[in-house]
A and B are shown apart, each in its own frame.
Chain A
Amino acid sequence: MIANDWIQILVSLGLIVLIAPLVGRYLAWIYQSPHLSLEKGIYRLLGLDADREMGWKEYAAVLVVSNGVFFVAGYLVLWAQGILPLNPRHLPPLSPEVAFNTAASFVTNTNWQAYAGEAQLSNLTQMLAITFLMFVGANTGLASLVAIIRGFVREGSATIGNFWADFFRFFLRAFLPACVLMALVHVEQGSPQTLSSSVTAKTIEGAPQTLIVGPVASLESLKHLGTNGGGFYNANGAHPYENPTPLTNTLEFLEMGVFTFSLPFFFGRMIGRPRQGQVFFAVIFALYVAGLGLIEYSEKMPNPLLASASVMQKTTPLQDGGNMEGKETRFGTTQTSLFSNTTIAATTGAVDGAMDSMNPLAVLVYLVHMFLNEEPGGKGVGFAGLLKEAILAIFLAGLMVGRTPEFLGKKIESREIKLAALSLLVTPILVLWLSGLSLVLPAGKSSIDNPGPHGFMEVLYAFASGNANNGSAMAGLNVSTPYYAISIGLEMLLGRFLPLLPLLALAGSLARKKTLPENAGTFRTDTPLFILLLLGFMVLFAALTFFPPLILGPILEHLSMLHQIAF
C-alpha cells in the first residue's frame, strides 16, 4: 500500500463517521415530529388512518400483506412486459421462474439479478417493477426497525406504531429527496437519464454501435441509497454509465453508507440514550473496518501463482498492484476494496469489480459479512438483527452479574429468548441446507462452472447472498436455471420475513413490559466492555455456525493458493 491508498481509505471512512450521526439525528426527528401536511394529504388520498396504533400482529400482517400485493404487482409487470408500452426493442417477457425470482428479489431489498438488465428489461419495466419495488423494499425495512425500536421506548403498551406512517415518513422526508438530489449529481457526472432506450454511436473505426440507455441516473442513486444494488446494466457499478468517474465511485460508497451507518445513532436518539447509539456504531464500524482491512490485505497480496511467472504486481504511484484480475483500472484495488466491503456489509450488492476474481480471503470477508448481516446490514433489518444479537449476548453475559438480564430497562425472559433464538435459526438453516442441497442435487451441480473449493464458494456465496437479502453474486454460477431461480427466489422471501416476524413479536412483548430503573447491580450496555462483549459474541457465534463451510471454501482455497494449487 502507498500513501494514496491510505488517503482514499481515511477520506472515505472519515466522511461516513462525520455524516452518519447527523443523518441519525435527522431520522429521529422524522419519527418524533407530527405529520406534515403533505403526508396528511397522501393519507387522505389513500384512505389511510396513519394515527391508528397497531399491535405487533396487525403491524406484521399489514407489512406482509402489503409487500405481498407489491410483489404480485411487480411480477405482473415483468410477466406482461411484451404487451406494455415503452418497449421499442420489443423485449419479450421474463420466464415465469425468473420473473418470480426478480419480483421476490426486489421486494425483499435483495436485488439479486437472474437477468441481464440492458438485454432483458424495457425502460417501463425498469421504472415500474424495478424502481418501484426498490422503494418498497427499503421503506419496509426501515419501517420495521422503527416498530422494533418502539418496543424499547414504550412501556405497558399494546401497540408498536402505524406501518403506513412509518413507511411514508422515511420515504417522503428522507429517501425520495435524497434520491432526486443524487440522481441529478449522477446525471452531471455522466450517467444517462432518458426515456429513449438506445442511441447509435460511431466507433473510431467508423462502425455503428448501439448503446443501450434509459433512466440510469435515477436508478443509480436509488440503488445505493436504498442499499438495493440491482444495476441497470448487468455489469452494475463497473459499467461506465452507472459509475462514470472515481468521484461517483466515492459518492456511491457514501450513498450506501449514509443511511445504514446512521441507524445506530438514530436508535440512540429514539431511545433517548445517544451513548447507546454510539456504542452500537462502534460495534458495527469495528467489524466493517476489520473486514475492509482483510480485503485490502488480501487484494494487495501478489498472487503466488503469477509471482512465480515474474509478473510485476507491486503498487507504485504509476500503477496499481496486487490482485488486478477483474478490477476496473479506473478504480484500482483500494477503491474496489472500499466499494466491495461496503456493498456487502450494507447488503447493497452492487459491485464495481468481479467478485469471482477476488482472492479467497476477501471472499471469506464477504461471506462473514453476509452471515452476520448486521454491520451495518440492510436498511433497518440489519440493525434490528444487531439488536437481536445484543439481546442474546446480554442474556448470556448478564446472568454473570447475578441478575435476570435486562436490556435498556427491559427484562429479558423466556419469551424474548424464544423469539430471538427463532429469528437466529433462519440464517443457518437456509444458507447451510440450501447450499448443501445444491451441492448434491444434479440440478444444482450442473450450474457450477469451477471445480473444487472455488465452485463450492460460488454456491455458498449465492445462498448467503439470497438469505442476507444482499443480492451480490460471485458469478461463475449459472443462476438463471429454474432450479436456482426458484430456490434463491424462495430463500430471499424466507430470509426476509422469517427472521423479521419474531423480531416484531419481540417488540410487541418488550413494549408491554415495564422499563426498570437502573442501579449499581444492572449491567450497563453503553460501555467499552459491552462493545467487546457484543463483538466477541457475534464473531464467536458466526464462527461456530459457519466454520465448516468456511474451511471447505475460502480457507481451503487460500491455503491451496499458498501451496500454488489453483482450481
Chain B
Amino acid sequence: MKKKNLLDSKVILEASRQALIMLNPFKLVRNPVMFVVEIGSVITTAITLYSLIHPDGEFLFTATISVWLWLTIGFANFAEALAEIQGRAQAESLRATRADTQARLVVPEGIRTVPGNTLKKGDQFLVEAGEILPTDGEILEGVASIDESAITGESAPVIREAGGDRSGVTGGTRILAGSLRVGVTNNPGETFLDRMISLVEGATRQKTPNEIALTILLVGLTIIFLVVVASIPAFSSYEGVLSSPTVLIALLVCLIPTTIAGLLPAIGIAGIDRAFRANVIAKSGKAVEVAGDIDILLLDKTGTITFGNRQAVQLLPAKGVSDEEMAFSSWLSSLSDDTPEGKSIVGLAASQLSSPVAPQGLRPIPFTPETRMSGVDGPEGEIRKGAEDAVRAYTGSAFPAGISEIIAEIAGSGGTPLVVARNKTIMGVIHLKDVIKPGLKERFERLRKMGVSTVMVTGDNPLTARAIAQEAGLDDFFAQAKPEDKMQLIKKEQEKGRLVAMTGDGTNDAPSLAQADVALAMNSGTQAAKEAGNMVDLDSDPTKIIEVVEIGKQLLMTRGALTTFSIANDVAKYFAILPAMFVVSYPQLGVLNVMKLATPVSAVTSAIIFNALIIPALIPLALKGIRYRPVGASALLRRNLLIYGLGGIAVPFVGIKLIDMILVLLHFT
C-alpha cells in the first residue's frame, strides 16, 4: 500500500477543515483538557473585544494570547484529523478494489445476477476464473487459485478450497483459476474490510482502558492546576499585586497537559493504523493495546516455527548395505509418493545417484492407515518405507545391529526416522527433518528481552519437540498436544495472571482463539477462526504476531513518553510566567527570570506560543510512534526518562528563549 505524503497540501487542507469543525464545544468536551483551553480562549477573546471598545492598552497583548489559545486547540484537532485522514486514505485504497462487482446469486430457480453489495449472510454465489469476489465468504464447493494482492500486497497466488482450514475468501480478491460456490458470511457493511474501514475512520472508535486511565490522570492534573491558578489572585492581592485574567488563563493553559491531551487521540488512531500497515486488521484498539502486555506467546510448530513439511536430509545405510543401494531403494520407495516429504526423498536420493532409471512394471503401494507404509512392488521386489514400528511389524524380525541406534539418534536430534526395507530386509534409515524458518531465533530473542516467553505447541513426541524448541530458541514447548490441550494451557496461564497470545486458522483453533487475550487469526483460515480472533492477518503469516506485540508496546510507550514530556515542560513555563507576574512589584524576583526574557509581555507570550507550537512539532512523533528497542524494561525506561523527562525539562527553556528573541526582533514587548 502506498503511503500518502503527510505534507500533501490537500491532506493539510482537509485536516484543517476538520480541525475547525471539531472546535464545536459539544464535540470537544470528549477531551476535557482541551475543553478547558476552549473556555479560556472564549474568556480572553471576550476580554480582547472589551478592550477594543474600552481601550486600555492591553488590546494587542490579549488579542495575541487569544489567537494562540485558539491555535492551541486547532493544532490538537489538526493532529487528530490528520491521523484519521491517514487511516482513511489507506482504507480508501482498499475500498477502490471493491468497485461494484456483480455476483451470480444461487436461487432456487437457478442463477440470478445481482450487484455484489446486495449479498446477505447465508446467500450463496458462484464465481470463476477472472472474476472478482464480491464479498467475504466461505468456500462450499470447489478449489481455486486466488490473487489476494489487492488485500495483502503479496503477488504470489494462494490456493483456497472447500472444507479444511483454508476455505475463507475475502471480497475484492480475484480468482485466477478454478471455480467456486461460496457461502456469504457477512451482511453488507459488516465484512472485515468494512469493519476495518469504519475502525480507522474513527466511526466506531472507543477509548481503550489504558487511554481512559491516562485521561483520568490528565483530568486530575488539570483540576490541580485549576486549583493552583485560582489561588494566585488571592495570594497576589495580599502582596498588593493585581493579577491580569489574561495572564492567569495563559498560565493555566501552559500548566495543564495540553501537549499530551492534544496528541492522545492521534496516538491511538496511529497505533491501529500501524497495525494495518503491517496488514493486520485489529477488531478494536484494545486488542492492539493488550498486545503490548502479552506474557506468553503460543506458537504452533507446523507452519509457524517450521515450514509445513519435513525434508529428507540424510540417507543412512544399514551395515553391509552400500550407499548406492540405500539411495536407490529410497528413491524407488518414494517414486509414487506425492507428499512433499516423498518428493524431498526422491530429490535427495537422485542427487546421490547418477541418473537413475526406473525399472518397468512398478506397482505403487500407497500409504494406508493399516500398514502405515508406502512403497512399490516391481522387479526389485517389495520396497517399503515407514515408521520404525510399522516396518518392524512388516519384517517380523528384530532390526539388524546399528539400526536402532541410528533411529534413536535421529529422533533425539528432533528429526523423524523412516526405515526403508527391500524384501523385508532393512536397507537403512532416511532422516527427515523439520526445517525451521529463517530469522525466527532472532525474533524470539527480541521477544524474550521484551519479557514475552514463547511456547511451542506440537503434536510431536517430547524428544522431537525439545530438539526443535532448542534449535528455534523457544523458551518452552508443549508436546503431544491435542487441540483441546491448547485451551487448557491458555486457561492455566491466565489463572496465573499471565496474558496469552496465539495465532490460529483452523475451526478447531476457534475456542482457544476466543479464550486467548490476543488472538491473531489467519485470513486464509476458516470463518470460525476469524470470528473468534480479535485480529486478522491479511498475509496469513503466523509470525506476524511478533510485530503486533511490538506495535502494542510502541503505542503505550508513545503515550507515556509524550505525557512525561508534557508535564516536564511545565517547569520552564513557570519560570517564564511567574517572574513576569510579580517582577514589577518585587524587582528582587528578577533573578528567577533565568531565561532573561525581555519583558513580562514577551515572557507570557513566548510561553503560550511555545505551548501551542509544540503540538504540531510533535505530530510526526505521535503518528510514527517513538522508537522501540528490545533492550529490557530498565534500559528502555532509563533511555526514555532521559530523552522525554530531562529533555522535556530542557527543551522549553531553549524554545521559549528563542521565541522571545523573535518577539524582541518584531518589537512585540
Contact = CB atoms under 8 A, between A and B. Distances in A.
Interface of A: 392, 395-404, 409, 412-414, 416-418, 421-422, 424-425, 428-429, 432-433, 435-437, 439-440, 445, 452-453, 456, 514-517, 519-524, 527, 529, 533, 536, 540, 543-549, 551-552, 555-556, 559-560, 562-563, 565
Q: Which 3 A-B pairs have the closest CB atoms?
A: A521-B451, A399-B560, A402-B553
Contacts, number: 205
A545 B221 CA distance: 10
A551 B578 contact: yes
A440 B582 contact: no
B56 to A, nearest CB: 24
B498 interface: yes
B220 to A, nearest CB: 3
A533 B634 CA distance: 12
A414 B289 CA distance: 15
B399 interface: no
Given A400-B561, A401-B637, A413 B568 contact: no
A436 B231 CA distance: 6
A515 B560 CA distance: 23
B588 A560 contact: yes
Contacts of B220: 417, 421-422, 424-425
Interface in B626-649: 628, 632-634, 636-638, 640-641, 644-645
B637 A421 contact: no
A397 B228 contact: no
B448 A520 contact: yes
B556 A395 contact: no
Given A399-B557, A536-B645, A552-B235, A522 B570 contact: no
Interface in B555-573: 556-557, 559-561, 563-564, 567-568, 570-571
Given A522-B451, A559-B589, A565-B588, A437 B234 contact: yes
Nearest to A430: B227
A392 B217 contact: yes
6 contacts: A398-B560, A421-B219, A520-B450, A540-B568, A544-B574, A548-B232
A401 B591 contact: no
B239 A396 contact: no
B239 A402 contact: no
Interface string B436-454: 0000000000001111110
A229 to B, nearest CB: 27
A400 B567 CA distance: 14
B139 to A, nearest CB: 40
Contacts of A559: 586, 588-589, 591
B508 interface: no
B408 interface: no
Contacts of B641: 397, 400, 529, 533
Contact of B498 (A412, A453, A517, A543): A517
Contact of B235 (A414, A524, A549): A549
A305 to B, nearest CB: 15
A456 B224 contact: no
Contact of B564 (A400, A422, A543, A563): A400
A456 B238 contact: yes
Nearest to B233: A436
A548 B213 CA distance: 29
A424 B586 CA distance: 32
A428 B213 contact: no
B559 A404 contact: no
A556 B589 contact: yes
Contacts of A551: 578, 582, 589, 592
B210 interface: yes
B556 A402 contact: yes
B337 interface: no
B209 interface: yes
B213 A413 contact: yes
Contacts of A456: 235, 238-239
A397 B227 contact: no
Contacts of B209: 404, 413-414
A533 B568 CA distance: 13
Determine which residue in A432, A536, A562 has the highest number of CB atoms from chain B within 10 A of its CB, and name it. Answer: A432
B245 to A, nearest CB: 16
B293 A403 contact: yes
Contacts of B628: 402
B636 A520 contact: no
B457 to A, nearest CB: 20
B228 A399 contact: no
A516 B213 contact: no
A433 B229 CA distance: 10
Given A522-B451, A545-B228, A552-B239, A440 B553 contact: no
B537 interface: no
Given A428-B227, A520-B450, A399 B634 contact: no
A514 to B, nearest CB: 4
A428 B634 contact: no
Interface in B217-275: 217, 219-220, 223-225, 227-228, 230-239, 255
Contacts of B10: none
A522 B563 contact: no
Given A400-B564, A404-B210, A524 B633 contact: yes
B213 A417 contact: yes
Interface in B178-217: 209-210, 212-214, 216-217
B237 A439 contact: yes
